Chain A
């Protein structure tokens, strides 16, 4: 396809009213690259990653995803959203549909995949996240970790080229964090391009190609995880790392 980069962010700024959330952010995500974004609460991590599929609009600068520039054109945005999966902190499964239907809905209603094929595809991804036996239950009958894995399968069913994760484990009980991280790790090893906001530093160290540290709407520092964790350059990063790594 077009170019080497999955996501290009150039001089992006964003305001909520008079409050500036993002200050001139620059970031490039290459195809197949795995990026972890971390930073203190309120630093704009969610806002940034939600700009990538235009759940939020940026006011200045350019964002290009899969070669498509994000602006006020529904056709382009729809095209981007089809190819970019997103997993939310609170799962946001569709509670009125079964697990299977959650995964079939997108392919059927957007890509016009026939029902039988959509079912096979959904089951394939449910097997991948290791909960095919829950396919006919409703989301409310599953544990948090299972729900999050369904949410991942739901996104994968659209066969995206990029996956966005916004704190996928921070609403989970400790014993369920591992199963979700494992699923994401498997995905990472298969070469999926992903951007993941998380406070799980062990996970970042294990799978990230690059760690990005944000504070107050700016990217303060980025680098390979080994260097980032052992030898952070900025005071702000050191302080943050000392706080999260203490746990």
Chain B
């Protein structure tokens, strides 16, 4: 929380100068983009006559009405409680995005037709690759973090070399090195294992640093209390240190998971039939690129949103001891 001051100032959206600025900005945008050929123009037919021939007057009148509606909307939202505000604004933003996509004149039946294969083949592969990689990356991260903090020269050297190398190379290049480079050494990996290996190693390196910072954030007294009771290293780590480090670790790790979900699309370049690959393949075959791309974009977004919800829940769970 920002812990706002107890001195309430009037809401920004209820100040005349702010509303005036919003009005001016929306008006400017409406003048730049002609809205007379949309449903808004149709609605205004009674005032401006035939929308398409209404010219400057029509454009100005439509813009004026739109700006007034927008400002009224903002002011009204300013009055309702927090939760309702969040929901209303979310829904309005979502609707405007849908309207934006709608403007592309997409063929919905086509998307509907291809959805089953996108979901069964693409979504499954994407989730599979991401989930397995997340699992291995987390294990690598814990080992890496402990190694970096262990005070053992060997372990530190190996772990820091690992994080330096895999954070330093582009993920795409790691993927090529594994898929095309390893066979030169006689190790031939399939596309999916190559992708999982590259993603695990790369994200494991990033997460090593996150876990290290999390473990370091725990007060030394916790180690001492745990040791003085008689817990060994394993118990101390599992039951005392990591659970306390989680509130520090989870937000950036959630970021990594979401990012990993989308970066799993990189494995499409070695021919794995995940979402991105299917989107391009199906789109190219039928020249309906936009349909496929937008459909897949929405799937990625929904997946990420699910992860955000899961993350929020876990955070709440681990913050429950912070009550006062």
Binary CB contact string for chain B from 238 to 252 against chain A (1 if under 8 A, 0 otherwise):
011001100000000
Query: B232 to chain A: which residues have CB within 8 Å?
Result: 74, 78
Nearest chain B CB to A34's CB is how many angstroms away?
Answer: 20
Q: In whole angstroms, what is the CA distance A111 to B177 when docked? A: 50
Q: Is the CB of A106 within 8 A of B318?
A: no
In the complex, residue of chain B having the shortest beta-carbon distance to the beta carbon of A90: B221
Nearest chain B CB to A117's CB is how many angstroms away?
Answer: 17
Interface residue B83 (Cβ < 8 Å from any Cβ of A): no
Instruction: Take A92-B222, A109-B235 as given contacts and tell me if A97 and B230 are in contact as well, using a CB distance cutoff of 8 Å.
Output: no
Interface residue B228 (Cβ < 8 Å from any Cβ of A): yes
Query: B318 to chain A: which residues have CB within 8 Å?
Result: 96
Q: Which residue of the partner chain, among B224, B230, B321, B324, contacts A95 with CB atoms under 8 Å?
A: B321
Q: Is the CB of B243 within 8 A of A138?
A: no
Within 158-175 of A, Cβ neighbours of B (below 8 Å) are at 158
Cβ-Cβ contact count across A and B, 8 Å cutoff: 67
Q: Is the CB of B229 within 8 A of A96?
A: no
Interface residue A82 (Cβ < 8 Å from any Cβ of B): yes
Give the bracket for the number of chain B residues in contact with chain A.
Answer: 20 to 34
Interface residue A203 (Cβ < 8 Å from any Cβ of B): no
Within 201-233 of B, Cβ neighbours of A (below 8 Å) are at 219, 221-222, 224-232
Q: In whole angstroms, what is the CA distance A85 to B229 when docked? A: 7
Q: Which residue of the partner chain, among A55, A95, A97, contacts B227 with CB atoms under 8 Å?
A: A55
Q: Chain B interface secondary structure, helix, strand, loop or mixed?
A: helix
Interface residue B323 (Cβ < 8 Å from any Cβ of A): yes
Query: A92 to chain B: which residues have CB within 8 Å?
Result: 219, 221-222, 224-225
Within 62-88 of A, Cβ neighbours of B (below 8 Å) are at 74, 78, 81-82, 84-86, 88
Q: In whole angstroms, what is the CA distance A154 to B230 when docked? A: 12
In the complex, residue of chain A having the shortest beta-carbon distance to the beta carbon of B225: A92
Interface residue B15 (Cβ < 8 Å from any Cβ of A): no
Query: B225 to chain A: which residues have CB within 8 Å?
Result: 86, 88, 92-94
Q: In whole angstroms, what is the CA distance A197 to B323 when docked? A: 32
Nearest chain B CB to A146's CB is how many angstroms away?
Answer: 14
Q: Is the CB of B239 within 8 A of A105?
A: yes
Query: A74 to chain B: which residues have CB within 8 Å?
Result: 232
Query: A53 to chain B: which residues have CB within 8 Å?
Result: 228
Nearest chain B CB to A21's CB is how many angstroms away?
Answer: 17
Nearest chain A CB to B237's CB is how many angstroms away?
Answer: 12
Q: In whole angstroms, what is the CA distance A92 to B232 when docked? A: 17
Query: B239 to chain A: which residues have CB within 8 Å?
Result: 105, 109
Instruction: Take A90-B221, A94-B222 as given contacts and tell me if A106 and B229 are in contact as well, using a CB distance cutoff of 8 Å.
Output: yes
Q: Is the CB of A138 within 8 A of B321?
A: yes
Query: B219 to chain A: which residues have CB within 8 Å?
Result: 92
Instruction: List residues of B whose CB falls within 8 A of some A CB.
Output: 219, 221-222, 224-232, 235, 239-240, 243-244, 318, 320-324
Instruction: List residues of A whose CB falls within 8 A of some B CB.
Output: 53, 55, 74, 78, 81-82, 84-86, 88, 90, 92-97, 105-106, 109-110, 138-141, 154-155, 158
8 closest cross-chain pairs (CB), A and B = A92-B225, A92-B221, A86-B228, A81-B230, A82-B230, A138-B321, A106-B229, A96-B321
